[in-house]
Amino acid sequence: MSANPLLKIDGLSVYYGKFRALLDVSIDVGEGEIVSIIGANGAGKSSLLKAIVGQVPKVEGDIRFEGQSLVGRGTPDIVKQGVALVPEGRRLFPSLTVEENRTLGWETGRRGGMSREDIYGFFPVLKERRNQPANQLSGGQQQMVAFGRALLADPKLLLCDEISLGLAPVIIDELYKILPDIRDRGVSILLIEQDIGRSLAVADRFYCMLEGKVNLSGKPDEVSRDDVIKSYFGGHE
Amino acid sequence: MTGVWVNQIVQGILLGGLYAMFALGLSLSAGVMRFINIAHGDLIVLVCFLVLTLTTSLGLSPLVAAAITLPVVFAGGYLLQRLLLQRVLGQHVLPVILVTFGLSIIIQNALQGTYGADTRKVQGGVIEYATIHVAGEINVGVLPLVIFVSAILMVWLLDRLLYRTRIGARIRAVSDDVAAANLIGLPSPHIFALAMGFVGVTIAISAGFMSVWTNFDPTSGPSRLLIAFEAVVLGGLGSLWGTLIGGIILGVAQAVGGQFDAAWQVLAGHIVFLIIFALRPQGLFPRY
Amino acid sequence: MKPTILLGRLALIAGVIFLIAAPAFLSLRGMQLTTEFMSLLVLAMMWNLLAGYADIVTVGQHAFVGIGAYAFFGFLVLLGVDPYLSVLLAGVVSLIFAIPVMGLIFRLRAGYLAVGSWVVAETLMLAAGKLSAFGGGSGKSMPVSFVKSFGASTPDRYANVYWLAFALLAAAFLSTWYLLRSRIGVGLTAMRDDEEGAGAIGVNLRRARVLCFLWVAPFLGMAGAIITMQKLRVAPPASFSILDWTVYIIFIVVIGGVGSFEGPIIGTIVFFLIREFLNDLGVWHLIILGVISIGVILVEPKGIWGLLRRFVPGDLIPVGHKPRR
């Protein structure tokens, strides 16, 4: 963990009306790190990502990116700062072509760094399908477009929300293989997953969440599998 | 005798061009922002009165007057969406219906308070009376022809705007899934407002033509809204070319109905709409 | 009994006592005004039932008022039916018309449904203008002999129409209250608050919406008949008046509080007060109502009652039986 992490979340709580989805969560992501957040459904993982990009109604605590607070700023501003999200369920725009979907990423982002050709390097299949409507692609290909859209924003921090959801294992393997390559291009990754095995295999560090709180963190090879499972399901000691 | 009927159909098709123009803006706002602006017709009439004021008090030609209103109405549409409508768009359908309904009543009565209840028309000069003799009993007015061609041009341009430009892609994105658009950092309120600005432009153009071609008074808005609504539903939601066809069907229905008996003109349009709607509720060319 | 409910019952009883005693002391103009008040309250309660609970926002409510007016006129004047029976039959005709109208507009959603209902109303109004037996586009007055059939003298007639309006209001009030307290009403309330919650209660929402639409039609039709007994003539733009039977009604419900039982009552009272003061202002009267309505939606979408409800611990006329959490 570096002294000046790229992303530093400090005592974050998230509210939806009276419902509190996140309670006093503190998380760091360093430069060039893949950090994984694991937890069961409803643990508050997605709320965390939405809070980072400024899409929750009310937060307490602080979110700092490169030392600047992101709290209270609009999403377009945050994305321009270098944070991009691959949303849960991909969320492509069905009436837009593959190319148009990806171009939106470029328009909303920092407009530099990764080029279209770089993205086609990661996902060659998209090149031949670039003029098709996004909803005619398979689930795996749609996920690639969602990645491409986020990467074209040239992020310093890529947020990935449940990228394995609803995809075949072969496809998931392929996507996970690309994550270290993306990291090696200088992009830090905050990865949210329900799939403990895959997620821990690729992560440098991890946090485990339960009922809106972080209850375990560390490096994957320094924590026993049993402890992880216990934290994940909230087994009582 | 058949010549008279053919002529009526031709006139109806040309009238349909104007109706399609009314409907284009409604189609855009319904397709993108997913709400029906009940004040749509009243906004058209409001701009008609604006053109009237510019031509009578400043002595401008209708063309210049309409050109002046374009940027004004674009800005007006932008601000209306950004400051008022955006605040009531959400999961519940009631607020936006009621706000646009309230707006409709306010505009009608404000116009009546300002201009009185009299029927008005903008003087268009020679173009109003120029006709082209086609064949037999078929005569085509130059003004209706210009309007019809403009309507086709507007559909084409709007289609290009939506499907061939970057702002068009953004508009379709927020229309597809506004939550996802927000998540990836698209400024959706700004994009919606721009779309409403374009709606304003279609309102200004159709109002410019309408003010020269037909009579209007402060309460003319609702009938324009109903025509526009019918054209949009007939054409199929989200289909701009369908909207053009929908407008033409209504124009022909009215012209033919009016040929039977002048008093049946408007009613014939509504009845044809209801029949086609009963048979094909999804419209003729549904996009979704 | 909770104090708020007690207060509500007391207010209702006071209202009923006033309405029953009123004919004894009100002038003819007072009678006429109170009759109109009761008719408008029925229309407001009906629009509120549709827009506030059943998610059916119509801008075409005047269609059924007009149908009721024409049906009443037809039965009474053209067919010579007893006037009171004609009022009931006007409700039946309105209900019959509601079935195909529903078949059409229920294919539309939200704003489309709103404007669609308006198209239907406009079509029916124009069609009514083609009925030569009813005087065509310029309408027809009721011959004196028929006017006398529901009151030999003017005071008699005013009293009879008053009691009819009172009976209609009582029927509308009690039956709608009963409807909203039934399982269907609880389901509708749940739907309004939270679509998923309603599914859990197990109420078929589509059927509930159909029921509400058909529920409303006869009341609107009978209100149209009673209004015609006051106006003594039918004419397309007056009997199918969008301003009187839809625009004002929407303002009444929105200002009073849409989606509550108290809202339409408060709204109608406020509307009559405003009208007495603002009628001199001409067009400004409607502009002010429009501005107030938009303001209400932006500030407190539940209207005056929503505003009061922040200070009052419970509903005065509760309709749902919400399970305690």
DSSP states of B66-120 = HHHHHHHHHHHHHHIIIIIIHHH-SS-SHHHHHHHHHHHHHHHHHHHHHH-S--B
Q: Is the pLDDT of residue A60 over 60?
A: yes
**Is A1 within a domain?**
no
Supply the pLDDT for residue A236: 52
Could you give the domains of chain B?
A: 2-279 (1.10.3470)
Q: Is C133 found in the same domain as C278?
A: no
Question: Is C274 an 8 Å CB contact of chain B?
Answer: no
Q: Is C104 found in the same domain as C68?
A: yes
Q: Is the pLDDT of residue C84 over 80?
A: yes
Residue A24: pLDDT band by 50, 70, 90 thresholds?
very high
Q: Across the interface, which of B98, B267, B270 has its CB nearest the CB of C254?
A: B98
Domain that holds residue A140: 7-233
Q: Across the interface, which of A80, A85, A107 has its CB nearest the CB of B183?
A: A85
Domain that holds residue C152: 30-240
| CB within 8 Å of chain B, chain A residues 92-131 | 92-96, 100-101, 103-105, 107-109
Distances, alpha carbon A127 to alpha carbons A102, A152, B169, in Å: 11, 14, 19
B187 chain-A contacts, CB cut-off 8 A: 74, 76
Helix (H/G/I), strand (E/B), else coil: C38: helix
Q: Is C271 found in the same domain as C235?
A: no
Residue B237: pLDDT band by 50, 70, 90 thresholds?
confident
Distances, alpha carbon A199 to alpha carbons A35, A83, A151, A220, in Å: 9, 20, 20, 9
Q: Across the interface, which of C109, C119, C286 has its CB nearest the CB of B229?
A: C119
**For the residues A54-69, what does the mean pLDDT come to?**
91
**Is C2 within a domain?**
no
Cα C186 to the chain's mean position, in Å? Answer: 21
d(CA B269, CA B273): 6
Residue C182: pLDDT band by 50, 70, 90 thresholds?
confident
Number of helices followed by number of strands (H, E) in chain C: 16, 2
Please name the chains neighbouring B, where neighbouring means 3+ C-beta pairs under 8 angstroms: A, C
Neighbours of C113 (CB within 10 A): 23
How many inter-chain contacts (A to B, CB under 8 Å) are there? 67
Distances, alpha carbon C78 to alpha carbons B94, C72, C152, C220, in Å: 41, 10, 20, 21
**For the residues C38-57, what does the mean pLDDT come to?**
94
How many inter-chain contacts (B to C, CB under 8 Å) are there? 119
Element of type H or E holding C156: helix C154-181
Total of domains in chain A: 1
Q: Is C227 found in the same domain as C250?
A: no
Query: Minimal CA–CA distance to A188: which of A70, A44, A59, A65?
Result: A65
Q: What is the pLDDT of residues C115-160, one digit of tens each?
A: 999 999 999 999 999 999 999 999 999 999 998 888 889 899 999 9
d(CA C157, CA C144): 12
B109 chain-C contacts, CB cut-off 8 A: 283-284, 286-287, 290
Supply the pLDDT for residue A223: 85
Q: Is C297 found in the same domain as C183?
A: no
**For the residues B161-179, what does the mean pLDDT come to?**
94
Tell me the sheet residues that pair with B102. Answer: none
**Is A2 within a domain?**
no
Q: Is C291 found in the same domain as C234?
A: no
Q: What CATH number is associated with residue A63? A: 3.40.50.300
**Is C42 within a domain?**
yes
Total of domains in chain C: 2
Of the three residues C217, C240, C263, the one that is the final residue of a domain is C240
Neighbours of C281 (CB within 10 A): 12
Q: Is C232 found in the same domain as C112?
A: yes
**For the residues C35-40, what does the mean pLDDT come to?**
95
Supply the pLDDT for residue B31: 86
Q: Is C87 found in the same domain as C222?
A: yes
Q: Is C246 found in the same domain as C179?
A: no
Which tokens hold the place of A73? 């700023």
Supply the pLDDT for residue C321: 52
**Is A64 within a domain?**
yes
- Average pLDDT along chain B: 92
Question: Is C114 an 8 Å CB contact of chain B?
Answer: yes
Of the three residues C188, C207, C240, the one that is the final residue of a domain is C240
Name the DSSP class of C246: I
Q: Is C190 found in the same domain as C147?
A: yes
**Is C12 within a domain?**
no
Q: Is C207 found in the same domain as C267?
A: no
Query: Nearest-CA residue of chain A relative to B180?
Result: A91
Is residue C114 within 8 A of residue B38, CB to CB? The reply is: yes
Of the three residues C240, C263, C297, the one that is the final residue of a domain is C240
